[in-house]
Amino acid sequence: AQSVAQPEDQVNVAEGNPLTVKCTYSVSGNPYLFWYVQYPNRGLQFLLKYITGDNLVKGSYGFEAEFNKSQTSFHLKKPSALVSDSALYFCAVRDRTGGFKTIFGAGTRLFVKA
Amino acid sequence: DAMVIQNPRYQVTQFGKPVTLSCSQTLNHNVMYWYQQKSSQAPKLLFHYYDKDFNNEADTPDNFQSRRPNTSFCFLDIRSPGLGDAAMYLCATAKLAGEKLFFGSGTQLSVL
């Protein structure tokens, strides 16, 4: 069975500082990995994905994520946080051998303080 | 613009009264998903379709049913809503296995 863990309920950073939101996963095969962001009372918006190739993937709004197969991690990063980055972030995984089933982590709330 | 549309945005129903939530898409995607999300928790997958092939999650209550009459539309039927079914219901689509999900804005369901 596939699963996703986001160990931090909340991450607090000051504007201009780098941010990291952590994600680890468990799948039986090789994963597709995704990050989504959710603003209040809205659906989820896609940020970036890892399919294959370069372990460092770049996405929307200056976000990037690093795939680490040995640590089964896919942490979301940004070099310089903005107040407008404050939102709920979800990591998601899809097992390549498991059809289209996509499972989400519990989410991490990011607060960026001015 | 092509998109995923959920109606209504807010739905209020009574305890035990059947309710249907709808989702439509103009993306012509093969895969459609229904997720339940409570209070900023992880979206919980209820079921998904690949074309007309229906995939139910093992822990989805029998109270929840779904229909996909064509590529564009998908419905979530809750036969006898309980107070615990109050949640945000999210519809999403995807074209291929490795592709991102496109989400609708969700339907916030209240059960009185």
Which residues share a beta bridge with B35? B45, B90
Mutate which of B21, B100, B107 to test chain A, going by most A C-beta atoms within 10 A? Answer: B100
Is the per-residue pLDDT at A97 higher than 80? no
- Residue A25: which of A16, A35, A33 has the closest Cα? A33
Q: Mean pLDDT, to the nearest integer, of B36-65?
A: 92
Which residues share a beta bridge with B23? B6, B74
> Which phi and psi (to 5°) does residue A9 adopt?
-70, -35
CB B54 within 8 A of CB B47: yes
- Residue-level length of chain A: 114
Residues in B touching A45 (Cβ below 8 Å) = 103
B28 touches chain A (CB under 8 A): no
A42 touches chain B (CB under 8 A): yes
Q: List pLDDT tens digits, range A5-35.
A: 999 999 999 999 999 999 999 988 788 999 9
How far apart (Å, rounded) are the C-alpha atoms in residues A16 and B78? 46
Residue whose token pair is 């945005």? B9
- Residue B46: which of B90, B106, B94 has the closest Cα? B90
Can you give the pLDDT at residue B72?
95
Q: List pLDDT tens digits, range A49-94.
A: 998 888 999 999 999 999 999 999 999 999 999 999 999 999 999 8
Q: Give the DSSP per-residue string, A70-101.
A: TTTEEEEEESS--GGG-EEEEEEEEETTSTT-
Is the per-residue pLDDT at A98 higher than 70? no
CB contact (8 A) between residue A102 and residue B94: yes
Query: Which parts of B1-112 are beta strand (E)?
Result: 4-7, 10-13, 19-25, 31-37, 44-50, 53-56, 64-67, 73-78, 87-94, 102-103, 107-111
Please name the residues between 30 and 49 in chain B that touch chain A, using a CB distance below 8 Å.
Answer: 31, 33, 35, 40-45, 48
Q: What percent of chain B has pLDDT over 70?
A: 96
CB contact (8 A) between residue B106 and residue A105: no
Residues in A touching B35 (Cβ below 8 Å) = 104
Q: Using CB atoms, which residue from A42, A94, A106 is nearest to B105?
A: A42
Q: Using CB atoms, which residue from A36, A51, A106 is nearest to B41?
A: A106
A to B CB pairs, distance under 8 Å: 69
CB contact (8 A) between residue A46 and residue B42: no
